[in-house]
Structure 1
Amino acid sequence: MLSETLYNSILNYFSQQNWEQVERCCESLLDNEPGHVGALQVRGISAFQNNKPVEAIKYLKLAVQYSDNHPSVLCNLASIQQQIHREDAAIENYQKALIKNPQLLAAHNNLGMIYLEKGADHLAEKSFQSALEIDADFTDSLNNLGRFYISKKAWGLAEPILEKIIRINPDDIDAIANLGLVKQMLENYVEAIALHQKVLIIQPAHRPALSNLAIAYSTSKAYYKALEVFEKIDKLFPSELNDYQMAQTLLAAGFLKQAQQKFNRLYQQSSKDARYFIPLSALLREHKEIDKAWDILKKGLDVQPWYTEDAEQMSQGHILSFSGLGHCRFDLNTTNTIYLNGAHFNTQWLIDAKKYQRTRFYIFDKNIEHLQQLPEHQLLVNTISDPDLEKSSLLSLSVFLEKHPELQVINHPDQVLKTTREQNYQRLKDVEGLIFPRTYRYLISEDDCENMLARVKQDGFEYPYLIRQTGTQTGTSFSKVVSDQQALEYFISAQGKELYVIQFIETEFSDHIYRRFRFYFIDGQMYPENCHIGDDWNIHSVSRSALMEKDSSLQRLELLFLNDPIQTLGEHNYHCLQQLADIIGLDFFGVDFSLNEKGEIVIFEVNCSVDHTHSFLHQYKYLEPAFYAINDAFDKMLQSRLTQQKLSSEIGDTLKI
């Protein structure tokens, strides 16, 4: 009876956190009853509260011993061990407790927290889920699992967890804020904005909600609203304003001068950060400060010629892509988006920013040739596509790869270097079933224009023929000449430049109607991409708006090609095109071609300077299956190569043992 009274006093003092009285009463009780489990536990916890962890562990171990490993006592011991970073001992005791009582929610939850700290993500997730299998509304594990999924950018998994927390507790401001972020990353901007606003009604100065609201507005192109929120953040938290996001918003909204000023301030603070000096360089070029733009770009890349972008979701691999800055520079397009102006294939829709961590390496002035080791990566992709404009970059990359034969790269530079127009002519001119028009390369010297006419004729060209400057695509600098006078005028205008002369071959489909087909080759397989139809021999994507936009019959012809290219081209022609995979030797490239009056394939160009873009999808919905099939095929190639690299690495590690 005395023990019970004394123990009740201990519990009363414990609830008041009167640790001195707790310890005095515990000592009295334990003097009379050394195995009193309750007193031993309280004494241990009291010692821990007084920063005596060794003493705390001693009493809790005694409590475990006298209680015959009672699960709740084991959990108390494990909890103290967890807090003093004796994780392995804590894991052991939580597991012992769960063997005796698998229904202990706290044990599952706390095990999950320890596994997270140790980097054992799978075990952590499993522990939280085990707790929720016992009690689906256990908020501790719901919160921990939700935060875990957010940390891993597993937005789709985090979403239902956070929604459930809010159903249980509609005023959980952290859960509402986190759900807003998740909706935002899932590109559900309407719901994301509503959730951010809900947080700000409860707590108007909630900094993460304000920041995420500004970014959500900006990403959904509500630029003026985004700028208003950024200004509010600047007033409330001037030291925590995301100047980079604001600069990006100013740029996207078309406030170029203000954007330049903001990027310039960021550049002055950190001149080595490519997020700052690349946009600044593009803006300077836009404002005709060409030399200054290159100087800033070169200084930044001299220090570190690469930068890394994290995946927006759980990363499925780390890709390092190569770009060249021999002749290319960063510019702004019509939507104020920064892009590399030519000589590269567009990876925006091929390498999914949501799925892959991406390091971009910029080659210039032979910088890569002196590099001992590349930045961390799992897969290499060479995006340089034009051997005329970026020959020096391709050669430098080739030199580096020759020193490192263990490295495998999608689109090896040696194969890209072979895709100039005149080399393609030499490779394909005698291939059965394919017609590649005669193509020669000439350098026009200042006093040689008259002689050029004779040279071109001597090389077998007949009127009409085509002339274009090297290193140009999409019909730029492209002319069809039908007489000596026209040819001479072109040569005079292009003095000092290199030109391609290409024999013109008639490919008229019907009366003043022309077609241009395109296949992509991805990992050896062919994928139809488009069939542009126009009223001029020089057909490009802009031909759509001239003729196809209002003529559904022409759209049906394109759809027929996309759905069944063999029916459009014929089985023989289709198989003749398949030969290109082995001849060209690239992992990714495109071929543009048409048919002559005999139904034979006439190739216009074969290279990887192909612009895979979704510009027309909103208007021509029937293009979507082909477009996404190409995306999926490229992604499948990436996944296949990543798997190969992983297996090679594992085999290499095994051989070292």
Structure 2
Amino acid sequence: MTSSSMALAQPSGDTPGIADMLRTGREHYRRGEIRPAIAVFQAGLALAATMSIGVAVDGVADLHAALANAFMLCDDIGSAGENYRAALRIAPHLAACWCNLGIVHQRSGKMQDAISLYLEALRRNPGHRPSRTNLVQALVATRQFAIARTLLLELLEETPEDAELRSRLGKVCFELGETEDAVAQFEQAVMRAPEQAENFYWVGAIRQARGELEAAQAAYAHAARVHPILRRPATQSPPVFRALALFAPFVGNTPVEFLFKDCAYQTSILSLLPGSRPDIALLAHEADVVVNLVSDADEGADVLPLAMAIARSLGKPVVNDPARIRNTTRDATALALADVAGCRVPRTIRIATGKGLPDGLDLAFPVLARQAGMHGGDVFEKLDDAAALTAFLAAHEGHDRYVIDYIDYRSADGFFRKYRFLFVGEEILPYHLAIGADWKLHRDATDMAQHAWMQDEEERFLRAPGEVFGAAHSQALRVIRDRIGLDYFGIDCSLDPDGRLVVFEVNASMLVHDQNPEFPYKDPYVNRIKLAFDGMLARFARGN
């Protein structure tokens, strides 16, 4: 089951025999005896089929609704959907069935259909609370944050003490860029439900995003004191295994909001703060496998030794060993991959904090320059001459910086293309293709939503990457995987006019998410990455 609020359809009539079976089945259901309940409900429907037409209409609708609810608890959403639809054909006034059919579609990834079903439930019963709360989830999943905020505010007017609603509103405000309101909502949630650990960490994360570093550090420290471990329960009990994730505020971490969602295993996230002295014996009970999330070798240089010490002290299998992460700075990666056959890896020179260009450095302009520890397009420029480069280095002399040879990877049609693969254990899986008119490509900043041909090309790449990347490219990717030596990481790359693989970035900090309402064709390929990740963790947990 997900966190969606399933609404039980209420009985609408009594018929001798059928009513007794409905009552008996519900007694089994309440006691958690789901399979016997299903058998009784099915027997009731079989009995109804032998009766005269029109004799037991309401009872049959109730049996279908009750049977659907039981199938939902067994995760048989296909059978659940069939029975909700059967109930609604007989009794379309059952708002709870419209709501629960919406959950079926939501769990199947059909978010827009789910929204329509929740709205139909609300047309039948405008005050139906499960439909309203589930509608919020579906709106958030389709990134309709402004509408979700309006609905959340209405719900909070009715139940202002509801900490869960305040937490959801905080997340929605954050997505809308209303960070001050987001912090206020999370702080209200903390006051009302101090046992909910996630809200404490959200306060720190948002204050960090706002640049309020002292306040963020204080918030994280408070969170770590109150909830040193952030636990996320498995979708089943008992969990198939337990994963302990090592996370470091203020440094780059592997994004796992999607990867750790709806897992059959329990996840426990330990925040590594300056001066952390975690109880190793206690942590050992939290873990069958350790997942190191500290992924940025530049930003995480000070905390990686702590992550490494904890991982080794636990004596458990480790995904993305911190010792290997330390070797994935941009300059170290460029050196490690410089001689891979069929690849073009731009030379990358590190300029230490406070230093300028070294004497005698041979550069061919234009060049790229970026601040160490930054990702995406932040503090990253193409510079046409030495004066511009010198000015950039001086403007950011408080940090280490990289100077990178520029490779013109423009395709024959004048567009730039950047492909992302995820390495998950032994698998190399396509994640996305960004197409744009500018050399600095970031998938979410392109206008691909307005161009069907771009979407078609991305879908073809995801479906058949071998049509773009041939056998030589695949071999180069396998060599890259072996040389980097991590269990989970990504690569951003392209092809130059001569067909050689151009490597831009290789690290474990790359984002994978399932929030793609404008590009539904991506869903199966994104989900494939999660399935591979879950399977990899399971193998580590088993020790193989």
TM-score range, shorter chain: 0.7 to 0.9
Report if the CA contact (8 A) 2:244-2:291 is conserved.
yes
- 1:443, distance to aligned residue in structure 2 (A): 1.0
Q: Report the secondary structure of 2:326's partner residue.
A: helix
Q: 1:299: which partner in 2?
A: 222
Q: 1:576: which partner in 2?
A: 476
- 1:245, distance to aligned residue in structure 2 (A): 0.3
Rate the CA distance shift 1:157–1:395 in 2: closer, same or farther, 3 A.
farther
Report if the CA contact (8 A) 1:185-1:312 is conserved.
no
Rate the CA distance shift 1:318–1:227 in 2: closer, same or farther, 3 A.
farther
Q: 1:135: which partner in 2?
A: 44
Q: 2:117: which partner in 1?
A: 191
1:386 aligns with 2:386: no
- 1:368, distance to aligned residue in structure 2 (A): 6.4
- Once residues 20 and 484 of structure 2 are traced to their aligned partners in structure 1, the CA distance between those partners, rounded to angstroms, is 62
Report if the CA contact (8 A) 1:193-1:217 is conserved.
no
- 1:499, distance to aligned residue in structure 2 (A): 1.5
Q: 2:380: which partner in 1?
A: 478
- Which amino acid in the other structure matches residue 245 of structure 1? L
- Once residues 161 and 542 of structure 1 are traced to their aligned partners in structure 2, the CA distance between those partners, rounded to angstroms, is 40
Q: 1:428 aligns with which of 337, 340, 343?
A: 337
Rate the CA distance shift 1:310–1:586 in 2: closer, same or farther, 3 A.
same
Q: 1:403: which partner in 2?
A: 313
- Once residues 511 and 225 of structure 1 are traced to their aligned partners in structure 2, the CA distance between those partners, rounded to angstroms, is 46
More helix by share: 1
- 1:575, distance to aligned residue in structure 2 (A): 2.0
- Once residues 417 and 88 of structure 2 are traced to their aligned partners in structure 1, the CA distance between those partners, rounded to angstroms, is 57
- Once residues 229 and 484 of structure 1 are traced to their aligned partners in structure 2, the CA distance between those partners, rounded to angstroms, is 58
Q: 1:275 aligns with which of 195, 198, 202?
A: 198
- Which amino acid in the other structure matches residue 468 of structure 2? T
- Which amino acid in the other structure matches residue 612 of structure 1? V
Report if the CA contact (8 A) 1:128-1:141 is conserved.
no
What is the TM-score with the length of structure 1 in the denominator?
0.63
- Which amino acid in the other structure matches residue 300 of structure 2? E
- Which amino acid in the other structure matches residue 527 of structure 2? N
Q: Report the secondary structure of 2:281's partner residue.
A: coil
Identity %: 20
Report if the CA contact (8 A) 1:150-1:182 is conserved.
no
- Once residues 359 and 569 of structure 1 are traced to their aligned partners in structure 2, the CA distance between those partners, rounded to angstroms, is 38
- Once residues 341 and 512 of structure 2 are traced to their aligned partners in structure 1, the CA distance between those partners, rounded to angstroms, is 29
Q: 2:281: which partner in 1?
A: 372
Alignment of 1:291-370 (within 5 A): 291-310=214-233, 317=240, 320=243, 322=245, 324-328=247-251, 343-353=252-262, 358-365=267-274, 367=276, 369-370=278-279
Q: Unaligned regions of 5+ residues in structure 1, if any?
A: 1-102, 329-342, 650-657
Number of equivalences: 496
- Once residues 128 and 425 of structure 1 are traced to their aligned partners in structure 2, the CA distance between those partners, rounded to angstroms, is 61
What is the TM-score with the length of structure 2 in the denominator?
0.74
Q: Report the secondary structure of 1:501's partner residue.
A: strand
Q: 2:406 aligns with which of 504, 508, 513?
A: 504
Q: 2:525: which partner in 1?
A: 629
Rate the CA distance shift 1:285–1:313 in 2: closer, same or farther, 3 A.
same
- 1:615, distance to aligned residue in structure 2 (A): 6.2
1:489 aligns with 2:391: yes
- Once residues 280 and 256 of structure 2 are traced to their aligned partners in structure 1, the CA distance between those partners, rounded to angstroms, is 25
1:515 aligns with 2:417: yes
- 1:156, distance to aligned residue in structure 2 (A): 5.6
- Once residues 143 and 515 of structure 1 are traced to their aligned partners in structure 2, the CA distance between those partners, rounded to angstroms, is 50
- 1:478, distance to aligned residue in structure 2 (A): 2.0
Q: Report the secondary structure of 2:222's partner residue.
A: helix
Rate the CA distance shift 1:106–1:644 in 2: closer, same or farther, 3 A.
farther
Rate the CA distance shift 1:477–1:230 in 2: closer, same or farther, 3 A.
closer
Rate the CA distance shift 1:577–1:217 in 2: closer, same or farther, 3 A.
closer
Rate the CA distance shift 1:508–1:488 in 2: closer, same or farther, 3 A.
same
Alignment of 1:21-32 (within 5 A): none
- Which amino acid in the other structure matches residue 333 of structure 2? N
Alignment of 1:440-589 (within 5 A): 440-445=349-354, 448-449=355-356, 452-454=357-359, 457=361, 461-510=363-412, 513-541=415-443, 544-545=446-447, 558=458, 561-589=461-489
